[in-house]
A = this chain, B = another copy of it.
């Protein structure tokens, strides 16, 4: 279940390189390193998470460069930007998986992805009904993941007993 999808990552790096070359933008060590970290991330890292990951690998990339590279990655369409209302952004590389939404655990921060075709169609319909041109959307369900759900119930029992 925790696949690293190395082949996907390689392909994405190539696509990013191509994107840069097409626009006559330098393909620098920093840009590739930031992209690689993100392409290999199994989750939805924040800028801080990406920086720490880079440090762990022994390389240092200035914060400003990380932000600037993320802008490029988002523009290129290879990376998706998220704002789960935590006060900072998270990023996610686009694998071959289809468009998906998120379930966010309010206790442990775990993010689970889900796909639902019917939901997507319904959103198209709703936009149409309001004569809106539908460009993108965001569906997030907040609550407790299976683990935290049980733990919360346990906490409650403990507090009642004490």
Taking Cβ atoms with an 8 Å cutoff, the residues of A that contact B are 83, 85, 103, 105-106, 112, 114, 116, 118-119, 122-123, 126-127, 129-146, 149, 152
For A85, list chain B residues within 8 Å (CB).
83, 138
Q: Shortest beta-carbon distance, A85 to chain B, in Å?
A: 4
A138-B140 contact in complex given A83-B85, A126-B116, C-beta closer than 8 Å: yes
A87 closest partner in B (C-beta): B83
For A123, list chain B residues within 8 Å (CB).
139, 141
Bound-state CA distance A129–B116 (Å) is 12
B122 touches A106 (CB 8 A): no
The 4 closest A-B pairs by CB, nearest first: A135-B143, A133-B144, A131-B146, A83-B85
B149 touches A141 (CB 8 A): no
For A142, list chain B residues within 8 Å (CB).
135-138
Identical copies of this chain, number: 2
B127 touches A118 (CB 8 A): no
Bound-state CA distance A141–B144 (Å) is 24
For A149, list chain B residues within 8 Å (CB).
131-133
A125 closest partner in B (C-beta): B116
For A106, list chain B residues within 8 Å (CB).
135
A141 touches B112 (CB 8 A): no
Q: Shortest beta-carbon distance, A107 to chain B, in Å?
A: 10
A112 closest partner in B (C-beta): B130
13 further interface pairs, Cβ-Cβ under 8 Å (given A133-B144, A138-B142): A83-B85, A103-B130, A105-B132, A106-B135, A114-B130, A116-B126, A119-B126, A122-B122, A123-B141, A126-B141, A131-B149, A133-B143, A134-B143
